[in-house]
Amino acid sequence: MALLREHWSLLITQLRLSSLLLACAWLFGCAAPVVDVRPDKPHHTVGGFQNLPGGLDKPEFTDFLRWQWERLLGTRLAQAFDTVAKKAVDPTLLGQTSLGWRMTWLGHASVHLQIDGLHVLIDPVLSGRASPFEGFGPQAYNPSPISLEDLPRIDLVLISHNHYDHLDARTVRVLARQPGGSPIFIVPLGVDRYLRNWGVESVYAMDWYDTRLFNLPMRNTESLTVEMIPAHHWSRRTLWDTNQTLWAGFRLQTKELHLVYTGDTGYSTIFKDMARRWAPIDWLLVPVGCYEPRWFMRAQHVNPEEAQRITQDLGARNALGVHWGVFRLCDELVEQPLTDLIKVQEQLPAGATRIQMWAIGETMQLQQPLLRASSGCSKAMLRC
């Protein structure tokens, strides 16, 4: 009976969200931004954007309705978010500047990087919900290990696409008002319109393969290269703006280290093409969660086996699994990405790079030589 009540509560929440999005767009004009597209580019269309060849097609809205109906009628297993490993974050340590790269996983797809004195956030969603509304929508069952107010001054924010678990209005607004001035926001084409509507002025929209250089405070003659790279995904923030803004991953590189973040993605042959273009890659951030039911998610979210395949496709020397452990967005159990990844890694040949699974809040100093010997993961990490 309790599970049935939970199903109905979930369905009612989704219906309320759809109704409010409709009302919002109708009354306040918050439909999708209008983007100048270039039909000469293969991923641009007259109506927006599309994936490059090499992956599966995005499911239709009727597939979404089927998924929700199956969720309503099926058995919904209890989640145990307290089993996800967590570590406290020391704001003073996070704010320290030093030579080299230091990375902290803040949960889901949110990552903090300190790169030779430059403080960078990737896909920060730190407000407690992946939703346009404070009262309901996907809740962060494992909140960020550091509050927005305790973050160090952020220099650069990279946002991969407009889905609510990657682009959070409250987080953006707080960062834009930080003492010392707003960070620079780098976003895919069209996403800049949202930020400008929220009062953010320091925002730059980029297309796939566009690059920008940023000075490194502790290396006067060197810079960080940021390149926006393709992902196999889609975009939507209201009911009728599907694929009208671009989605992407990022490539970050200095003379010392080369890191790639795939962004949300389904499996595609584009990653083999990237390897030919950019290898070697020292660190890879790759999603490992939100992949069930497979028939619905496989075109948009890789599962652990496909994430491991991307790691091999790119020839990454080290890899970290992200996009798990915080929100209840899909149907797998919160610990399933870890247990599925263990099974996949048992079949890998000796010497293959194994995706690591960190505790939320864990910090590592990144180096070109394998700092953790690419040790992969273990069941013990659920409670480390």
In CATH, what is the architecture of 31-383?
4-Layer Sandwich (3.60)
What's the mean per-residue pLDDT of the chain?
86
Q: What is the mean pLDDT of residues 260-273?
A: 96
Contact 344, 310 (CB under 8 A): no
The tens digit of pLDDT for each residue in 57-75 reads 888 778 778 878 877 777 7
Q: What is the mean pLDDT of residues 368-380?
A: 48
Comparing 217 with 286, the larger pLDDT belongs to 286
The tens digit of pLDDT for each residue in 267-317 reads 999 999 999 999 889 999 999 999 998 988 999 999 999 999 999 999 999
Task: List the Cα angle 299/305/311 in 5-degree steps.
Answer: 95
Question: Is 70 exceeded by the pLDDT of residue 11?
Answer: no
Number of H helices, E strands in the chain: 9, 15
| 107-111, 112-116, 362-366, 379-383: the lowest-pLDDT one | 379-383
Comparing 20 with 242, the larger pLDDT belongs to 242
In this prediction the pTM is: 0.88
pLDDT-derived band at 368, boundaries 50, 70, 90 = low
pLDDT score recorded for residue 187: 98
Single out the residue of 71, 347, 114 nearest to residue 218, CA to CA: 114
Single out the residue of 114, 104, 110 nearest to residue 124, CA to CA: 110
